[in-house]
A and B are shown apart, each in its own frame.
Chain A
């Protein structure tokens, strides 16, 4: 059953702690993306990767880090340097041929 998995669905952390959000796909898509969604706003791009072992910053990369060691996985680390980490985080993939992106179910991160 092909798809994108994000775990966990809800995540709670104390301020000052780093936290890693998981994104796994079995669609064999080359490109992967991380977006952040805040209330009343559209999605904003954090990082993206078009190929294994390569990634680029998006519009709001400060306070975040990623890795792309495997095609199937693109984890996002929210570091303590991120000023307002509480948000809904969405992972997406794309084939690179038609620019259509497929989204995971998202992770709601709450930092207190």
Chain B
């Protein structure tokens, strides 16, 4: 079975500081994608960043970057210069290649950015 685990149910950070959200996963597949999705209070799911497992270079999108450790099956999200608008639930998700694009989600981390 494939699983995604987020061990931090809640986190908080001061505005302008940096925070890291943890995610570990388990899959027997060698080729897969990993994603971080953000769900603000509106409940709209928004893609934050994605990583292809065959790429060694860590993905970055502006203030968001990942630390992808394939051997350790770890995929953490770093948010730099945190902003109030970053307050949301963050979900880590996995999809192996050639399995219909099904996303396997973690339980989520609720991030609060404090002024």
Contact = CB atoms under 8 A, between A and B. Distances in A.
Interface stretch (B12-20, B54-62, B69-77, B96-104): B96-104
Given A42-B91, A88-B43, A103-B45, A56 B100 contact: yes
Interface residues of B, number: 25
A88 B114 CA distance: 27
Interface SS majority for chain B? loop
A96 interface: yes
Contacts of B102: 33, 45, 48, 58
A40 B95 CA distance: 21
B91 A43 contact: yes
Interface of A: 31, 33, 35, 40-45, 48, 50, 56, 58, 88, 90, 92, 94, 96, 98-103, 105-106
Interface of B: 4, 6, 9, 33, 35, 42-47, 50, 91, 93, 95, 97, 100-108
